[in-house]
Amino acid sequence: MTESLFRSDSYLAEAPAKVVFAEPRGIALDRTVFYPQGGGQAGDQGVLVVAGAEIPIVNTVYDADRRTILHVPAAGADLPAPGAGALARIDWARRLKRMRAHTALHLLSVVLPYPVTGGSVGDADGRLDFDSGEAALDKADVERRLNALIAADAAVSQRWITGEELAANPSLVKTMSVKPPTGAGHVRLIAIEGLDLQPCGGTHVARTGEIGYASVTSIEKKGKINRRVRIALADPPT
């Protein structure tokens, strides 16, 4: 099982670790700052520095056991020996944008309090699908309300509850298509002070103000009652 350092501190850009095994399909470390693909968020990219040489990592995924994190090396890269020390360093600029976009999606689910049926986070953008019924969604109005929440600069924090506590509070789960992350009977909740509380395993910024500005780029009809809302990090309108 890989220790997930990004869970307790999403701002860690690098950390020393030890190689557990290394295969062309993936390199496992005892601990890592690399976020594995999941929950609609892409896997991190970056490098592993071993004996002064950089091994490019093109993706990060869970192994079949869902407990071991695999750093997928670039094709043909030299593989380190088990037991070797490695400095794991993510592409921080890319991850920070994903953290900003991901946190903006939490706020979007506050602006549009409908059941979420799907979603994904890109490098500087993201989308959520809502069962919004027949409600008319106005792009400019959604963008204005979203950015008011961003500007509120609310603190983002996490806490863990038991699976039983979550089962007793089913309204916490907004996302019908993504099962909340559970580990050893516990579920991770992400709280945005005074605004939102929901289970999530992804990486977030510490305050909503760090998102900066998010534009609503499109609202599409995806069936009778489903709406797909896309947002993107942007410069504030002048």
* Residue range at the interface with Zn ion (CB under 5 A); choices 28-36, 88-96, 144-152, 200-208: 200-208
Q: What is the closest distance, in whole angstroms, from the C-beta atom of residue 40 to Zn ion in the complex?
A: 9
Per-residue DSSP letter, 194? T
Among 43, 73, 80, 202, binds Zn ion (CB under 5 A): 202
Residue type present at position 162: T
Nearer residue to Zn ion within complex by CB, 68 or 158? 158
Three-state SS string over 133-170 comes to CCCCCCHHHHHHHHHHHHHCCCEEEEEEEEHHHHHHCH
- Residue 126 as a binder of Zn ion (CB under 5 A): the answer is no
Q: Is 128 in the site for Zn ion (CB under 5 A)?
A: no
Q: Does 189 bind Zn ion (CB under 5 A)?
A: no
Per CB under 5 A, the segment of 130-138, 149-157, 192-200, 208-216 that binds Zn ion is 192-200
**126 or 202: whose CB is closer to Zn ion?**
202
Is 67 exposed, middle or buried, given 0-12, 13-18 or 19+ CB atoms closer than 10 A? exposed
Longest distance between any two alpha carbons in the chain, whole Å: 59
* Binding segment toward Zn ion, per CB under 5 A, in 12-20, 24-32, 77-85, 201-209: 201-209
User: Within 10 Å of residue 206's Cβ, how many Cβ atoms?
Assistant: 14
Pick from 200, 229, 231, 232: which binds Zn ion (CB under 5 A)?
A: 200
Between the CA of residue 18 and those of 73, 100, 177, what are the distances in Å? 16, 30, 35
Comparing every residue's Cβ against Zn ion, the nearest one is 200
Residues in the site for Zn ion, rule: CB under 5 A? 200, 202
